[in-house]
């Protein structure tokens, strides 16, 4: 994947099996369990993604689109300089890489992903 390309789309849900059945029924996506509260999917011709079980889903707050970047830290600083903010600091995805969330000036969440090399 090239830098600054959309690499992952993530939906929040309160029931993993219900969300999986809905997305599979509509699109035929294949799912694989990643953790107890997270499943990943692959979508033909586009970035894959995941569904994450949460206690409550706020309408309009999901999905989150992730952009693959070379390094997260400089992007966090630049987002703040451009009028955005850090919504979730850099955190590790064991064996995969790191992610963070920023907001744009209107408060929209954008996910950042840095692959483990």
How many CB atoms are located within 10 Å of the residue 27 CB? 11
pLDDT at 106 (0 to 100) = 77
Q: How far apart are CA 113 and CA 68, in angstroms?
A: 5
pLDDT at 80 (0 to 100) = 93
Residue-wise pLDDT tens digits, 86-106 = 999 999 999 999 999 999 987
Classify burial at 72, counting beta carbons within 10 Å of its beta carbon; exposed 0-12, middle 13-18, buried 19 or more.
buried
**β-strand partners of 9:** 49, 65
**Which two structure tokens, joined as six digits, stand for 28?**
């035929």
Residue-wise pLDDT tens digits, 2-24 = 678 888 999 999 999 999 999 98
Domains of the chain in sequence order: 8-63 (3.10.180.10), 69-117 (3.10.180.10)
Residue-wise pLDDT tens digits, 14-62 = 999 999 999 988 888 889 999 999 999 988 887 889 999 999 988 778 8
**Which residue reads 């408060």 in tokens?**
107
């Amino acid at each position: 994947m090239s830098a600054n390309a959309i690499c992952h789309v993530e939906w929040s849900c309160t029931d993993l099996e219900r969300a999986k059945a809905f997305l599979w029924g509509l699109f035929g996506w294949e799912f694989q369990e990643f953790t107890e509260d997270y499943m990943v999917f692959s979508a033909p011709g586009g970035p894959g993604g995941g569904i994450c079980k949460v206690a409550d889903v706020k309408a309009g707050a999901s999905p989150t689109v992730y952009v693959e970047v070379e390094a997260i830290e400089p992007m966090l600083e630049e987002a703040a300089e451009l009028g955005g903010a850090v919504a979730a600091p850099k955190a590790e995805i064991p064996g995969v890489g790191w992610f963070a969330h920023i907001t744009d000036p209107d408060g929209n969440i954008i996910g950042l992903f840095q692959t483990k090399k």
